[in-house]
Amino acid sequence: MDPLSDVLSLLKPRSYSAGGFDVGGDLSIQFPRHEGVKCYAVISGGCWLSVEGIADAVRLETGDCFLLPSGRPFRLASDLSLPSIDARTIFANKQNGSVHSLNGGGDFFIAGGHFAFAGSHASILLGVLPPVVHLRKEADKEALRWSLERMRQELRDPQPGSSLVAQQLACMMLVQALRLHLAEGLRGGVGWLFALADQQMSAAISSMHDDPGHGWTIQTLAERAGMSRSTFALKFKQTVGKSPMEYLTRWRMLLAGDRLTNSNDSISAIAQSLGYDSESAFSTAFKRMMGCSPRQYGRGRDPDSPSLGAGETARSGQVEGDHPVEAILG
C-alpha cells in the first residue's frame, strides 16, 4: 500500500454515521464538539460554515467538500445573523444512511459522514490537518462528482443495503478529499502528509512503509529519493519535521502497537520483523516512544499521553537523543 493508505488502515477509520440533511428556508444549526473527523459535501444549494475559533466564515456552494478534523463546534446557516438551533435536538432520531428534511428541504442539501478512528494515535492524521479543509476548485468538484451523485441517489431512493453503501461512499469521499488536499493545499507545510506531495520525499517514505524491517540507512533512503545523502537528510528534516531515522522508528512502533493489540504475534517475532536484533532493544525503543512496555500495551493499556522520545538508529536500537515531539509522525 501507499503511505496514506497505510496510515488510514492503521487508524481503522469507521463511520459513526453517514447520511445527509436537506434544508428549506432560513435556518442556522449549531453542532457540538465532536470526536474524529467530519467529511461532508454540498449536493445542492449553498450555506455558510462557521467554525469555533476561526475568524472568517466559509461560504459553501454546490459541489464543495469540507473536512472538520479538529473536533471544534461549528455552525451551518443560510444566514449567520439567525439564532441557532441545537443540532442534537434536530437529529436525535436520525437513522444512519438517511436524509433528514428540515422546513421541507430544497435550499441546501449536505451529505457525508462522521468518522471515528478505532486505532490509537488519531493525531497522526488529524494533527497535520487545519481546522477546516475546504475543497472548492472546479477540478476538485469534478473529482468528487461521481461519489456525490451516488450518495444523492442512495439517500433519495433507498434500496436494500443503502445504509452500507452510503457509509462506503462516505469513506471514498474522505479519502478523495485527503488526496485533493494533499495535491493542492499542503505544499510548504511540515509533516509526513505534507511530504507526500514531494516526489523525492514520497519515494523515501514509501520505501520505509513498504519494508519497515529493512536495515535502512540515510544513504540507502537517499538513493531511493535520487539525492545525495546530505541533501536528502536536510530536506527530509525540513519537510517532515524529523530525521529519516526518527520517522522510521515511529512508524515501526505504530505497526508494533497495532500488532500487539490485534494479533497473537510474540514480542520477539514483532521485534525481528521490524528490524531489531533483540527483544530488549525493541522493548527499550517501544517504551521510550509509547510510554509503556510492549507487554503492558498488549494487555490493553492505551496511554493517555504517550512519551514520544527521539528515534534510534535503524537496526541497532541505539537511542540517539531525548527531545519530545508532539505527534508520532508529525
Tell me which H or E stretch contains 257. Answer: helix 244-262
Residues 131 and 239 in one domain: no
Residues 165 and 204 in one domain: no
Alpha carbon distance 158, 264 (integer Å): 41
Q: What is the Cα gyration radius of the chain?
A: 22
Other C-beta atoms closer than 10 Å to the C-beta of 238 total 11
| Domain annotation covers residue 179 | yes
| Domain annotation covers residue 114 | yes
| Domain annotation covers residue 318 | no
| Domain annotation covers residue 323 | no
Give me the CATH number covering residue 107.
2.60.120.10
Residues 176 and 210 in one domain: no
Yes or no: say if 193 and 127 are a contact pair by the CB < 8 Å rule. no
Residues 176 and 215 in one domain: no
| Domain annotation covers residue 38 | yes
Q: Is 236 helix (H, G, I), strand (E, B) or coil?
A: helix
Q: Which residues of the chain have pLDDT under 70?
A: 15, 93-97, 119-120, 184-189, 299-330
In this prediction, residue 18 carries a pLDDT of 82
Residues 197 and 166 in one domain: no
Residues 87 and 49 in one domain: yes
Q: Is 177 helix (H, G, I), strand (E, B) or coil?
A: helix
pLDDT tens, position by position, 28-41: 999 999 988 999 99
Alpha carbon distance 304, 64 (integer Å): 36
- Domain end marker among 140, 158, 184: 184
Give me the CATH number covering residue 272.
1.10.10.60
In this prediction, residue 301 carries a pLDDT of 47
Residues 149 and 200 in one domain: no
Distances (CA, A) of 253 to 156, 158, 202: 44, 43, 20
In this prediction, residue 188 carries a pLDDT of 60
Alpha carbon distance 305, 161 (integer Å): 40
Residues 52 and 157 in one domain: yes
Q: What grid cell was written down for 188?
A: 510548504
Yes or no: say if 317 and 282 are a contact pair by the CB < 8 Å rule. yes
Give strand pairing partners of 306.
none
Q: What grid cell was written down for 308?
A: 514520544
Q: What grid cell was written down for 274?
A: 521490524
In this prediction, residue 191 carries a pLDDT of 80
Q: Is 51 left (phi over 0), alpha (psi -120 to 50) or beta?
A: beta
| Domain annotation covers residue 162 | yes
Residues 156 and 247 in one domain: no
Query: Residue 117: which domain range?
Result: 3-184
Yes or no: say if 217 and 224 are a contact pair by the CB < 8 Å rule. no
Residues 149 and 223 in one domain: no
pLDDT tens, position by position, 141-195: 888 888 888 888 888 888 898 888 888 888 888 888 888 887 765 556 678 887 8
| Domain annotation covers residue 271 | yes
Residues 13 and 105 in one domain: yes
Give strand pairing partners of 22.
101, 109
Residues 179 and 238 in one domain: no
Question: What is the count of structural domains for the chain?
Answer: 2
Q: Strand 85-86 relative to strand 28-31: parallel, antiparallel, unpaired?
A: parallel
Rounded to the nearest angstrom, the gap between the alpha carbon of residue 71 and the centroid of all alpha carbons in its chain is 13
- Domain end marker among 156, 184, 212: 184
| Domain annotation covers residue 312 | no
In this prediction, residue 268 carries a pLDDT of 94
- Domain end marker among 121, 152, 184: 184
Tell me which H or E stretch contains 266. Answer: none
Across 64-177, where does the E strand assignment appear?
65-68, 74-77, 85-86, 99-102, 108-117, 133-135
